[in-house]
Every structure is written in C-alpha cells, then in structure tokens.
A and B are shown apart, each in its own frame.
Chain A
Amino acid sequence: MAYVAPTRPAASQGLKGLVSDWSSDQRAFKNVPWGKAMMWIFLLSDTFIFACFLVSYMTVRISATTPWPDASIVFGLDVAGKPVPLLLIAIMTFVLISSSGTMALAVKNGYEKNRKTTAILLVLTAILGATFVGMQAFEWTKLILEGVRPWTNPWGAEQFGASFFLITGFHGTHVSIGVIFLIIMAVKVLRGALDDQRPGFLTGRKGRYEMVETLGLYWHFVDLVWVFIFAFFYLW
C-alpha cells in the first residue's frame, strides 16, 4: 500500500524540496507509484498531440479566406420546431463532466477499499463515457448526411470538415479506449483482484488500488481535452 522510497527520506516541500528531488538518486518523483508518474508523462505527450491539432485548426481557420461555418448553427438542434444552438454539444459536455465526477468518487472509494462502490462507480463512468461516444456518433452521422466531408461542406471554409473529423475523432477514440479500460478495471475490482494483489492478464504487476487512480488520471485528461475542444472548436 505505502510506497517506500529506496533512498533517503523525502526532503521538505518547496523550492528546496524540488531541487533535492531532482538531484536525488534513482527517482525524481517521490511519493507516487511509478505507474502514476508514467501516466502523467504519457498524458503530457498526449497534451502536445492534441495541442498540435488545435493549433493547426487555429492556423487554417485564421488563413481561410472564405468565412468559417458558424458552429452554433451547424451543431444546433431543432426542439419542438425551435432551433437551439449547440444543444447536443452542451449535453455531451455535461455527460462527460458527470463521468469525471463519478470517476473521482471511484478513485476515492478505491483508496478506502470499498470494493463494490468502486466497481459500481467505474461501471457508471463507463456508461456515461459510452453515452458520450454514442452522441458523438449521432453528431457525425448528422453532419455526414448534411454533406460535410474533410474536403468540403455546405456552409463555408473547406478546412472545417478536416478539423472537425480529426479533432473530435481523435478525442472520441480516446474516450472509447477509456471505456474499454474502465470495464476491464471494473471487472478486476469486482473480482477482488486489487484486494488480493493478484497480477493482471498482461503484466506480472500486483493489483493495487492505485491503478484506479492511474486510470482516473487518463479519464480526467479526456474530460480536460474536451474542455479545450468545447471552447476553441464549438464556442469560439
């Protein structure tokens, strides 16, 4: 349960602590299991990938000479005959935030070793994630039927389709992979594999409840990316 550092005890916090952490033997990241530190570093690299997509979207949008399609109309839905702007996207945002909330509670319950509650919350998170992907599939279908392609669309700058499919597609892939891992983790928790520290299917590593937090980091990151996509792509 507790992580035991192989070197001398951790230095005090603050700038001094930072310097002593970085200059210490073997490990710079104290107090975290290596799986968690590696997940952070993976997420850092993923940040750069998503940022490259968003920056290239910005570049093509700035340099387009034809007007950019108005997202609040393109992604609007008709409710009882009245057009509501960005309705589906707003619902998707709330679904993803809720899934982040249930994930945070799953991590908390995991650390408290509430096996059943953790599993239920993980399944709930997976269901919300799958709902999000389902709504995204609906949105893609709607836009494709309306004639949006990576090279053309009925409303304006051609680059709109390419940016839309690339950015939301890559994000949706992340959500889908997350849902798969959430289900795997829920099964592991339910079986008690984390309580008994049983090694996993692909790895010899012993099961620990910190694995729930590592998966949680990934899931919150997916929500984090959506915050930026929502702001830059849909609202801007």
Chain B
Amino acid sequence: MAHSAVAHSAVAQSKAVPQQAVQHHAIGVYLWVWALLFVLSIFSYMVDYLGFEGLLRWGLITFFMLFKAGLIVAVFMHMAWERLAIMCAILLPPGLLVFLMGLMAIEGNTTFLSRLGF
C-alpha cells in the first residue's frame, strides 16, 4: 500500500518535474556487483597465492584493480547514471595522476641510479 503510494507519487512528480534526484535500481544490480567484487578479489589474492611473477603478476593485479574500481564507481556510486557534466568533472582530473606517476617513476629511477653510483 505505502509502497505503491510512494511509487505513484514519484511517477506523478517525475511527470510534473523532469529533473529527479531520486534513483531506483533493481536490487539484482547491486547483488551482482557485490558478487563480482568478491570473485575479482579472490582472483587478485590468487595472483599472490599462486606466486605469479613479473609482467603477468603486475598486469593481472592492475587489471583486477581497475575492474573493481570501475564497478564500485559506476554502480555502487551511481556514476553510470549521472550526467556527463559531473562524470567529466570528477573522472577526468584523476587522469593527471597518471602523468604524475610517470614523472615520479623517472625521478625514482634517477635517484636509484645515482645512489648506486655513489
């Protein structure tokens, strides 16, 4: 009863006002993402448990990390349903951090080499 009343008023409001802050998603979406995050975490733990080394290890760790991060941001944080304006404002600036990471990797290698030299 109460549910249908709420749903009804939400529908009525969405007709009256095209802009709605309220989000409704099926519970299945969350449960799926939850399960996927569990599975991906098990996989990334297995990378260490099975003792993978070198490029395979780093590649797998990075892949699972970015996959998990993407799921959390897109579904749990509802970014997939936001407007492009807020997506760009929030998701683009961290891209600069890749640049910082690259610079500091070069810097770190230089420090390492000069430490070996002296």
Taking a contact as CB atoms under 8 Å apart, the answer to whether B72 and A213 are in contact is no
B64-91 with Cβ < 8 A to chain A: 64-65, 68-69, 72-73, 75-78, 82-86, 88-90
| A144 surroundings in chain B (CB, below 8 A) | none
CA distance A234 to B65 in the complex (A): 12
Taking a contact as CB atoms under 8 Å apart, the answer to whether A235 and B48 are in contact is yes
| A56 surroundings in chain B (CB, below 8 A) | 104
Taking a contact as CB atoms under 8 Å apart, the answer to whether B101 and A220 are in contact is no
With A14-B84, A220-B77, A228-B65 known to touch, is A112 a contact of B19 (CB < 8 Å)?
no
Taking a contact as CB atoms under 8 Å apart, the answer to whether A63 and B112 are in contact is yes
Nearest chain A residue, comparing its CB with the CB of B64: A231
Taking a contact as CB atoms under 8 Å apart, the answer to whether B104 and A104 are in contact is no
Q: How far is the CB of B63 from chain A (nearest CB, A)?
A: 10
CA distance A109 to B75 in the complex (A): 15
CA distance A103 to B108 in the complex (A): 39
Judge whether A3 is part of the interface by a CB distance below 8 angstroms: yes
| A22 surroundings in chain B (CB, below 8 A) | 85
A23-65 with Cβ < 8 A to chain B: 28-33, 36-37, 40-41, 43-44, 47-48, 51, 55-56, 58-65
Judge whether A143 is part of the interface by a CB distance below 8 angstroms: no
CA distance A55 to B49 in the complex (A): 25
Taking a contact as CB atoms under 8 Å apart, the answer to whether B34 and A44 are in contact is no
Judge whether B18 is part of the interface by a CB distance below 8 angstroms: yes
Among the listed A41, A85, A236, which residue makes an inter-chain contact with B61, where contact means beta carbons less than 8 Å apart? A236
Taking a contact as CB atoms under 8 Å apart, the answer to whether B112 and A231 are in contact is no
Nearest chain A residue, comparing its CB with the CB of B6: A113
Taking a contact as CB atoms under 8 Å apart, the answer to whether B47 and A97 are in contact is no
With A3-B21, A37-B86, A62-B109 known to touch, is A94 a contact of B30 (CB < 8 Å)?
no
Among the listed B19, B41, B64, B108, which residue makes an inter-chain contact with A30, where contact means beta carbons less than 8 Å apart? B19
What are the 7 tightest A-B residue pairs by CB atom distance, in nearest-first order?
Answer: A62-B108, A21-B85, A63-B111, A231-B65, A101-B34, A3-B21, A18-B84
Seen from chain A, the residues whose Cβ lies within 8 Å of a Cβ on chain B are: 1-5, 9-10, 13-15, 17-18, 21-22, 28-33, 36-37, 40-41, 43-44, 47-48, 51, 55-56, 58-65, 72, 85-86, 90, 93-94, 97-98, 100-101, 103-105, 108, 111-113, 210, 213, 216-217, 220-221, 223-224, 227-228, 230-232, 234-236
Q: List 13 A-B contacts (CB under 8 A).
A: A1-B10, A1-B22, A17-B84, A29-B86, A44-B90, A47-B94, A56-B104, A85-B49, A103-B76, A112-B3, A224-B77, A227-B69, A232-B65
Beyond contacts A3-B20, A72-B48: 17 other A-B pairs, Cβ-Cβ < 8 A, are: A5-B19, A10-B19, A21-B83, A31-B20, A37-B86, A59-B108, A63-B108, A63-B109, A63-B112, A64-B112, A65-B115, A113-B6, A224-B69, A230-B41, A230-B44, A231-B65, A235-B57
